[in-house]
Amino acid sequence: MTSREERRLALFPDNWNLLVLEKKEAARDQARHPLHELPREEELRSLGIVSPDSALEFPSGSSLRGRASFVDRQYLAPLVDRPLRTSEGDRFLLISRRNAPDTMDPEECTVANRVFHLAYWDRASRFCGTCAAPMEMISGEMAKQCSACGATSYPRISPAVIVAVVRQGKLLLAHSRRHSGKMYSVLAGFVEAGETLEQAAAREVQEECGITIKNVRYLASQPWPFPTALMAAFTADYAGGEIALQDEEIVSADWFAPGELPREIPDAYSIARRLIERFVSDHGTPQDLQRLLSR
> What residue ranges bind Zn ion (CB under 5 A)?
128, 130-131, 133, 146, 148-149, 151
Q: Which is nearer to Zn ion, 34 or 155 (CB)?
A: 155
- Minimal distance, residue 135 CB to Zn ion, in Å: 8
Q: Which is nearer to Zn ion, 148 or 293 (CB)?
A: 148
Q: Which is nearer to Zn ion, 122 or 208 (CB)?
A: 122
- Minimal distance, residue 131 CB to Zn ion, in Å: 3
Q: Which is nearer to Zn ion, 30 or 147 (CB)?
A: 147
CA distance 295 to 292: 5
Strands 229-240 and 158-167: parallel
Q: Are 7 and 81 in contact (CB under 8 A)?
A: no
Residue 3: phi, psi to the nearest 5? -70, 165
Q: Which is nearer to Zn ion, 20 or 135 (CB)?
A: 135
- Minimal distance, residue 8 CB to Zn ion, in Å: 45
Sheet holding 144-146, edge to edge: 135-137, 144-146, 152-153
Question: Which amino acid is located at 45 in the chain?
Answer: R
What value, to the nearest 5°, has the Cα angle with vertex 205 and ends 203 and 211?
110
CA distance 181 to 175: 9
Strands 17-23 and 9-14: antiparallel
Strands 170-176 and 187-190: unpaired
Q: Which is nearer to Zn ion, 153 or 185 (CB)?
A: 153
Using alpha carbons, list the distances in angstroms from residue 190 to 96, 162, 164. 24, 9, 15
- Minimal distance, residue 128 CB to Zn ion, in Å: 3
CA distance 26 to 147: 38
- Minimal distance, residue 142 CB to Zn ion, in Å: 19
- Minimal distance, residue 154 CB to Zn ion, in Å: 15
Question: Which amino acid is located at 117 in the chain?
Answer: H
Strands 9-14 and 91-94: parallel
- Minimal distance, residue 132 CB to Zn ion, in Å: 7
- Minimal distance, residue 134 CB to Zn ion, in Å: 9
Q: Are 119 and 126 in contact (CB under 8 A)?
A: no
Q: Which is nearer to Zn ion, 46 or 152 (CB)?
A: 152
Q: Which is nearer to Zn ion, 25 or 136 (CB)?
A: 136
